Amino acid sequence: MRETADAVVIGGGVIGTSVAYHLAKTKRKVILVEKGEMGAQTSGSCDKAIFLQSKNPGFSVKLAKASRQMYETLEDELDASIEFKKDGGMIVIEQEEHMEFMKKFVGKQSKAGIKVNLLDRKATLAWQPCLSKTIYGATYSGEDAEVNPLLLSQALAGASERLGVNIHTHTEVTGIHVMNGKVSGVTTTKGYIATDLVINAAGPFAPSIAEMVGTTLTIIPRRGVILITERIPRTINGNILCSQYIATKHLTDRSNDNTPPYGIGLSLGQTATGNLLIGGSREFKGFDREVGPDVVAAIAAHACRIAPSLKSVRVIRTMTGFRPFTPDGLPVIDEVDGIKGFIIAAGHEGDGIALSPITGRLVAALVDGEEEYREFLDALKLERLKAV
């Protein structure tokens, strides 16, 4: 089979579907290629939090706030429910030695423009009665929100198809053709697609796609495990992280001796159907999906120490995903130097859900040279240069 397209998007998660949707809005003929089911990889194995207060001050906060604002109207725009809720988020301080760090954290986040407050134990327990009475307090931000990642990818895919995007699932890219420094086509397991624009939105698998055009991409799979419980009555208000999670999330030195076992840090939320999502771990284990009982036990023990009521709740299954980690903690959204028409939109690690709307918009702006979003694209380049 031979096809033609104005653009080919590789990857059917929340980033790839957002890119396809925004490119289709510019009247382009777009083909999206996904090697499995839509949203079945990283996007289908993560929690539902859109946390602003957990982002690094500066560029990361500005980018996250812009993306968060897009969520306000996204359900109407996509004409579908994505279970978007503005219930706020909390970072629990479970150890006294974390208190000073979190006080400084609140100050930095407030200066960065995030409305976040430091709560004492009494105020924290009033908002989240499930927490241990031994916790020291928490930070809270009403700007944090949540969304269903699977519904998000499905809604973006559905809206894309209504705009004319052709989605090929169970189709693997086997080669990308470049002539005279320009993309000319893509070979897949189902045929050839002639195109002069390819967007690599393959998440943790993006490096293998980049290799097809002779480019090295430093994105490393970071394995994360989440426990899923039976359905229970509403127990969690909004989403909960812990101060240990914040430290683990922003840690880039994998040899650091202070890293908790398996990179454990609490993330806790509850789905619309009542299931609890209890995370999680952060490990560099390649693409190994085999998770031992010690990891599951460590996640459960850490969660129960902070929220003792969880001890009586049954875990019905676990899910394992691979987050696309970058050493500088920043996503890659740019055209590859020397290869016109080959754009990378990957490396979001645990921020893919939060940054999905803005990423698709940035790729469309990059392709069309729009000035409106140029400041974000230029700032991202500058941040990456600083980190080198």
Task: Tell me the per-residue pLDDT of 305-336, one tens digit each, with 9 for 90 and over.
Answer: 999 999 999 999 999 999 999 999 899 999 99
Instruction: Report the pLDDT value the prediction gives residue 259, as an integer from 0 to 100.
Output: 65
Instruction: Report the pLDDT value the prediction gives residue 45, as an integer from 0 to 100.
Output: 81
Instruction: Report the pLDDT value the prediction gives residue 247, as an integer from 0 to 100.
Output: 65
CB neighbour list of residue 255: distance below 8 Å, 6 or more residues apart: none
CB neighbour list of residue 69: distance below 8 Å, 6 or more residues apart: none
Contact call for residues 54 and 242 (beta carbons, < 8 A): no
Instruction: Report the pLDDT value the prediction gives residue 255, as an integer from 0 to 100.
Output: 44
Concatenating the DSSP letter of every residue in 16-75 gives HHHHHHHHHTTT--EEEE-SSSTT-SGGGSS--EE-STTSPTTHHHHHHHHHHHHHTTHH
Instruction: Report the pLDDT value the prediction gives residue 271, as an integer from 0 to 100.
Output: 94
**What is the pLDDT confidence band of residue 254, given thresholds at 50, 70 and 90?**
very low
User: Looking at residues 33-47, what average pLDDT do you find?
Assistant: 88
**What is the pLDDT confidence band of residue 53, given thresholds at 50, 70 and 90?**
very high
Instruction: Report the pLDDT value the prediction gives residue 347, as an integer from 0 to 100.
Output: 96
- Whether residue 251 is predicted with pLDDT greater than 80 in this model: the reply is no
DSSP 3-state of 225: strand
Q: Rounded to two decimals, what is the model's pTM? A: 0.94
Q: Where are the alpha helices (DSSP H) in the chain?
A: 14-24, 59-71, 74-78, 99-111, 121-127, 149-162, 206-210, 243-249, 293-306, 352-368, 374-387
Instruction: Report the pLDDT value the prediction gives residue 384, as an integer from 0 to 100.
Output: 85
Calculate the average pLDDT of the chain.
Answer: 93
User: Looking at residues 20-42, what average pLDDT do you find?
Assistant: 94
Contact call for residues 266 and 242 (beta carbons, < 8 A): yes
CB neighbour list of residue 76: distance below 8 Å, 6 or more residues apart: none
- Whether residue 199 is predicted with pLDDT greater than 50 in this model: the reply is yes
**What is the pLDDT confidence band of residue 193, given thresholds at 50, 70 and 90?**
very high
User: Looking at residues 10-35, what average pLDDT do you find?
Assistant: 97
280 preceded by a cis bond (ω within 30 of 0): yes
